[in-house]
Amino acid sequence: MLVDTRYNEVTRCVIGCAMQVHRALGTGFQEVIYQRSLAVEMQEARLPFIREVERPIFYKGVEVGSRRVDFLVAENVLVELKAISELNHAHYAQVINYLEAYRLEVGLLINFGETSLKYKRFLKNQPR
């Protein structure tokens, strides 16, 4: 199996920024607080990103609507944040489906709601 490593440095940097935020704030805040804090960290790390960007959703090549993503980093990396007690397979499926709908190749799901930061990297064609 061939492993896609094109976005490793970007995802590694985003995860490092998220760890800094989690280390400083811990758990218990609303998602928006973590989102704003992560934006500060990524800006300091000089990562190119857009926060809460509206992206079109495609079905069979037809645009059928849009949804906001928490972050789009380096134009191709979707970052979805949560601040919940535990991630589950529905959250994983959400990110994989977003990758397909937004025509992106890699995504990160980051959860600030647990005692230790949880994150998972997804590739577009990764099995659920």
CA distance 96 to 78: 10
Question: Which residue is it, tokens 């805040």?
Answer: 29
Q: Which CATH architecture has domain 8-123?
A: 3-Layer(aba) Sandwich (3.40)
User: What is the reported pLDDT for 2?
Assistant: 47
User: What is the reported pLDDT for 70?
Assistant: 95
User: What is the reported pLDDT for 53?
Assistant: 86
CA distance 102 to 109: 15
User: What is the reported pLDDT for 4?
Assistant: 59
* pLDDT tens sequence for the chain (128 residues): 445 577 899 999 999 999 999 999 999 999 999 999 999 999 999 999 999 988 888 888 899 998 889 999 999 999 999 999 999 999 999 999 889 888 899 999 999 999 999 999 999 865 54
Which are the contacts of 52, defined by CB distance < 8 A and separation ≥ 6? 35, 68, 69, 70
CA distance 29 to 24: 12
User: What is the reported pLDDT for 108?
Assistant: 97
Q: Are strands 77-82 and 106-111 parallel, antiparallel or unpaired?
A: parallel
CB-count burial class (<10 Å; 0-12, 13-18, 19+) for 94:
middle
